[in-house]
Structure 1
């Protein structure tokens, strides 16, 4: 893997390399390429907006953000975002990373789908949310020049990403659809999980056991 893509340096510290090795072992090409594109798009956003961020922590957060979808790290009862965040936390703790940095990465991974919240967190979390939104739904698509975008995709191909990522999501939480309640992941269940009926918050309020 080249060390610089679209003028963005891929972190190559020992910690970053070990994180990449772990994720590459467990993530397929779809998630590996997506996670690297997320880092590159996130870093572009930070650089263009002159945001101060820790590139190593942003890179590790990006690598781990979807690891909770994989067989080795998916739990029976937690949101996949939390599974990925816990995996990142365990990895960083095992390397003696300071607790403040561990918490920052945990938040970035756990909150990366929490639209309307995560963008107000620390720079690394907010930037990664931009990268995720950019790669998955093309949010703010014109922010990144076409030439830079093409360099990223050449290094980490999309390979029918639009179609395949939804099935990757579904595979990651089809055994625990209840964890998608109140999140954008419920949309995936509604589209791809036979018999799934989206819970309704208003129904829960109006039919609570309170006698009134």
Structure 2
């Protein structure tokens, strides 16, 4: 485990270094920088909130959280979040990480786009969600230390990030738009696929094969 709390420091462990190598190999510069910012934002949020969290596990979760968007890890039908979580599970299992820790990383990645849930879970799960929220949507921007934010962004720049991340999302699941149903990523498919409309939950209920009676 790392002991330094320098603003732009990442865990100095073999596990973290190998996770970085995988991220660098399979991610674009945009996703690489985003993932690094997510970890650094999340770790700082954890320190600010005085949470007890595992920096190494949080870092691996951040490194893998968007790898499901890459061709190397993308499945034909799973949510990209699940693809990334499954990749992290395999990576951690190879390194003999205990199953309970693997499950924490899996949940953190699988739920990193699911609002309203993660704040009630393990610190690593909650922090990955909040780190992503800050970097992608600006959630918590005003309460996050501006000097830390500026140092992180200087180290890992947000070059054309707002437009680029949306295109990166779509590129990761354009071949399986149905996997975005019920998630915020359905908005991306509706934006980029002409005529695409995500299934409506009310319509699905109305069209259920059950008869509209007690029979």
What range is the shorter-chain TM-score in? over 0.9
Residue 70 of structure 1: aligned partner:
70
Q: Is the 8 A contact 2:8 2:152 kept in 1?
A: no
Residues 39, 128 of structure 1: 8 Å contact kept: yes
1:9 to partner: Cα distance = 2.9
Q: Which moved more, 1:143-152 or 1:77-86?
A: 143-152
Q: How does 1:3-18 map to 2 (within 5 A)?
A: 7-18=7-18
1:80-126, Cα deviation, whole Å (9 max, x unpaired): 00000000000011111111111110110011111111221100010
What RMSD over aligned residues (CA atoms) do the two structures have, in Å?
1.4
TM-score, normalised relative to structure 2: 0.94
SS state at 2:116 partner: coil
1:33 counterpart residue number:
33
2:23 is equivalent to residue 23 of structure 1: yes
The 5 A counterparts of 1:106-185 are: 106-185=106-185
- Structure 1 residues 15 and 69, CA gap change in structure 2 (3 angstroms): same
CA distance in 2: counterparts of 1:119 and 1:191, whole angstroms:
29
- Name the CA shift for 1:176/1:65 in 2 (closer, same or farther; >3 Å): same
Contact 2:8 2:155 in 1 (8 A): no
Partner Cα distance (1:25, 1:15) in 2: 15
CA deviation after TM superposition for structure 1 residue 4, in Å = 7.0
Q: Find the counterpart in structure 2 of residue 102 from structure 1.
A: 102
The one-character-per-residue Cα deviations of 1:41-62 (angstroms, maximum 9, x if unpaired) are 0011100110000000000001
Q: Distance in 2 between matches of 1:25 and 1:171?
A: 17
Per the TM alignment, residue 176 of structure 1 is displaced from its structure 2 partner at its CA by: 0.5
Flag structure 1 segments of 5+ consecutive residues without an equivalent.
Answer: none
TM-fit CA distance, 1:148? 1.1
**Any gaps of 5 or more consecutive residues in structure 2?**
none
Residue 8 (structure 1) shift: 4.9
Report the CA distance between 1:160 and its aligned residue. 1.1
Structure 1 runs of 4+ aligned residues shifted over 4 Å read 3-6
How far apart, in 2, do the equivalents of 1:153 and 1:174 lie? 29
How many residues align? The count is 210
Counterpart of 2:201?
Answer: 201
Indicate the residue corresponding to 1:81 in structure 2.
81
Q: Say whether 1:51 aligns with 2:48.
A: no
Alpha-carbon deviation of 1:147? 1.5
Aligned residue for 2:17, secondary structure, equals: helix
